[in-house]
Amino acid sequence: MSWINLSALWKIIVFGLIAGAGLPALFAGGLYALSLGPKTAHVRAAGVDGDIDSDVVVGGSVAGMALAALAFLVILAAIGWSVYEIYTLGHPAPKK
Amino acid sequence: MSNDTVLVLVVITALAFDFTNGFHDTGNAMATSIATGALGPRTAVAISGLLNFVGAFLSLAVAATIASGLVATGAVTLTVVAAGLAGGIIWNLLTWLFGIPSSSSHALIGGVIGSTMAAAGGSAVLWHGLVSKVVLPAILSPVIAAGVAACGTWLLYRITRSLTEGARRHGFRIGQVGSACVVSLAHGTNDAQKTMGVITLALIANGTLTKGSNAPVWVIVCCALAISIGTYLGGWRVIRTLGKGLVEIESPQGMAAESASAAVILLSSTFGYSLSTTHVATGSIIGTGLGKKGADVRWNVAGRMATAWVFTLPSAAIVGATAYGIAYGIGGSAGVIIDLVILAALSGFIFWRSRATKVDHNNVNAEWTGRVAPEKVPAESAAA
């Protein structure tokens, strides 16, 4: 009997980082891709003096929007898959 | 009076605990979304309540830990469970009154351990299970969550640095709604199971279930309902401390904190660790303050919380042991009933005290002035 289950600990850290920091980073990547294109170009061109209060997210580039959609879909799929995994792992047969 | 009457009372008390659990912990999922304005306060608690209900059906691993991993089931009687629950509920209500996001799980576990020790001595407590499945995770989980949230925060600001402030705020508010929903689901999964475990423990003590049984379906459904109703009513005092008191939060930080909490809670539940969603959520919020340059963590608020965390297990244990002493002194079913009457009276008193400095959906986001209850706002600015 050990006090710390090391195999559970490293899994919690590694998968925690992948899901807990990686997925939101992917979401950020999606937002970045979404922002590419002509509609937000003036903000970039103007730099820090630009229209920093603009809340336009969609830049209008088709490739960017496609990439963003892909990123968001991957996130949803990852959440759905995790919930399914937790459900199967969380219902063990009762101990005899 | 038959044992079945006492069993029914114990189940009702357990569900009352589950209710305070939901109510105390709404903030864990929704505080940051409410603070950044991603969700209106009332919408937030409604969504959170619903997802807590769904989450309760996801897993039984933590319920198994509570039902068989912490105390020797042979030593547990219905009186022990009732006294333990009384300890948990009183500590939960006291910390709520002061707006301290302490751990509902530790309150419950502390209460049960205290009453078990009072009834059967220290040898009836499975100390190894307690340390490896409760105490160590309690120390490690907030640190891991803080690390994950700090990484997440840094990445989010780095990746979206070319976006305007407004666009970033707008985009991450949408993301935050999603991540807050996953935290609510995770909370239902981890916390509703604790009450399921306790009710299962009571059913085993009564001989209704055999040792090692899983929670029956009616138990799962009742616990899911109790925690979701509690969540829906919303512990506004704790929401305020978490959302406004610790760190002033922007929407990318909110999303990073929630994602880190959800991941750590769900992973740990899967391994049967009954960790405190409160400790994890607090760790994440502090982590998100560490991951952003120029963000201030109010360490004095964090320190107050940490103190409450250290005291939670022993304090709830003392209340649990006292409640057992009273019930044992009077004896039989009457003892349990007197215990529960005292519990109800104390709960009523705490609730009455809380009315004096009310925090609700109207003033939950008021400027942090160093305490839970916001300053009274003049009528004209309140109306605006």
What tens digit of pLDDT does each residue of B241-259 get?
A: 777 766 777 888 889 999 9
Q: What is the mean pLDDT of residues B25-36?
A: 80
In a domain, A21, yes or no: yes
Does B68 sit within 8 Å of A4, measured CB to CB? no
For residue A22, tell me if it sits in a domain: yes
Gap from B142 CA to chain A (nearest CA, Å): 12
CA distance B73 to B51: 32
Rounded to an integer, the average pLDDT of B152-176 is 87
The region, left, alpha or beta by phi > 0 then psi within -120 to 50, assigned to residue B331 is: left
Between CA B237 and CA B209 the distance in angstroms is 39
> How many structural domains does chain A have?
1
Q: Indicate whether A95 belongs to any domain.
A: no
Per-residue model confidence (pLDDT) at position B129: 82
Residue A40 placed within a domain: yes
Q: Where are the domains of chain B?
A: 3-362
Query: What is the domain extent for residue A79?
Result: 15-89
Beta bridge partners of B71: B125
- pLDDT tens digits for range B107-157: 888 998 999 998 888 788 888 888 888 888 888 899 999 999 999 999 999
Q: Is B367 on the interface with A (CB under 8 A)?
A: no
CB of B189 within 8 Å of a chain A CB? The answer is yes
Residue B209 contacts A, CB cutoff 8 Å:
no
Question: Token pair 């990686």 is at which residue?
Answer: A22
A9 in any annotated domain: no
Q: Is residue B297 helix, strand or coil?
A: strand
Compute the mean pLDDT over every residue in chain B, rounded to the nearest whole number. 82
How many other CB atoms are there within 10 angstroms of residue B355's CB atom?
7
Residue A70 to chain B, least CA–CA distance (Å): 15
pLDDT > 90 in chain B, percent: 13
Report the 10 Å Cβ neighbour count for B173.
20
Instruction: Please answer whether residues B168 and A43 qualify as being in contact, where contact means their C-beta atoms are separated by less than 8 angstroms.
Output: no
* Residue tagged 């009836």 (tokens): B124
A66 is a domain residue: yes
Nearest CA in chain A to B176: A24
Tokens 């803080």 sit on residue = B146
CA–CA min distance A21, chain B (Å): 4
Q: Dump pLDDT digits (tens) for B326-336.
A: 888 887 788 88
In a domain, A61, yes or no: yes
For the stretch B34-53, pLDDT in tens is 887 888 888 888 898 999 89
